[in-house]
Amino acid sequence: MSLLTPASEVIQRHLEHFTDRHVILAGDIQDELAATLEAASVRVITNQYHHWQRLQPLMGDMALFSATTPAEFIQPCDTLIYFWQKNKQEACFQLDDLCTHLAAGSQIFIVGENRSGVKSAESIMEGIASLQKIDSARRCGLYYGELEQPTTFDIARWWRHYELDNVRINALPGVFSHNELDIGSDLLLSTLTDPMSGDLLDLACGNGVIAAVIGSQNPEIKLTLSDVSASALDSAASTLEANKLTAKVIASDAYSDINDKFDWIISNPPFHDGLNTSYRAVENMIYQAPKYLKKGGRLRIVANAFLPYPDLLDKAFGSHEVLAKTGKFKVYQAVKR
């Protein structure tokens, strides 16, 4: 088993609560605790494809990758262990969804690192469950209560929308550029004004804004969008539909489920996994890019200027160029020779 996160180690201090319960784990799932937890039954729902890839071989159909929880999946459960998301709005969205399908009287455990903002769980759950802090260890807090008033989840309340160059962008909570276009993507798009053709992969697509703008300006281009986040994939699909664009939308951890080759790979890649800084995904994205590019194909990414991507690009491609930069961001391009 992989190492447990501090939050999971706190849950392990309270295993006696779960032995005869039907448990569902949700939220910021970062390890394999769900696969070893001893209970009457255990299910897990994760919004992150790479975490589902680790859990599914261990748990089969009891591990679900989804942005929202199907009623039939959660209704057999009487106990929720929720790992707090660093994005408060995403936590509210997920808890609203989860607490719609649980029965009144269900036990709720909410755990998270103090730096994640888990302390706000008590106020957020007010009127739904009266939470009390029952443990504090490993710089984490664990809160417990019983579900008093199930919620009435309506996903329509959670969608956010904005317009960019006559392109409508739709996004769910927790998705990057949720409320407005971020500065990095804006800089990347500023370098993509010339006509484009061929096959394009928008890797770590988020709400689909980059692909949607490119697709609306280049009707002949063939789009593929991928991300590890179920909420991002749902957002990207909604953005494409709103702009009458056709594309493949694929759940993939970098290139794990990508089988084609492209003329373009475009990305504003993340460098966080939960609360932690992680360059693994971006390193993988850059090193493997030549394998997924046609001859003459281009990788174009935007990144914080301080990140160590120039050396990675040179190792993978032999060279790179900087197409645009500000005090904070740079747009890099490398070409497969």
Vertex 276: Cα angle to 270 and 281 (nearest 5): 40
SS3 276: strand
Residue 278 confidence (pLDDT): 58
CA-CA distance, 8 to 2, in Å (whole number)?
12
> Which stretch of DSSP H or E encloses residue 108?
strand 107-113
Residues 35/85, Cβ–Cβ less than 8 Å: no
How does pLDDT run across 72-83, given as a tens digit for each residue? 999 999 999 999
Tokens for 91?
A: 């936590």
Taking the mean position of all CA atoms in its chain, how far away is CA 42?
23
CA torsion sign for 9, 13, 16, 18 is negative
Give the 3-state secondary structure of residue 57: helix
Which residue stretches of the chain have pLDDT < 50? Answer: 1, 272-275
167 vs 242: CA distance, rounded Å:
8
The pLDDT of residue 178 is 87
pLDDT at position 308: 86
pTM above 0.85? yes
pLDDT of 275: 47
pLDDT of residue 177: 87
Q: Which two tokens mark 180?
A: 């407005």
Indicate the SS3 state at residue 71.
helix
Dihedral Cα 264, 268, 274, 280, nearest 10 deg: 50
Tell me the per-residue pLDDT of 141-171, one tens digit each, with 9 for 90 and over. 999 999 999 999 999 999 999 999 899 999 9
Total H helices, total E strands in the chain:
11, 18
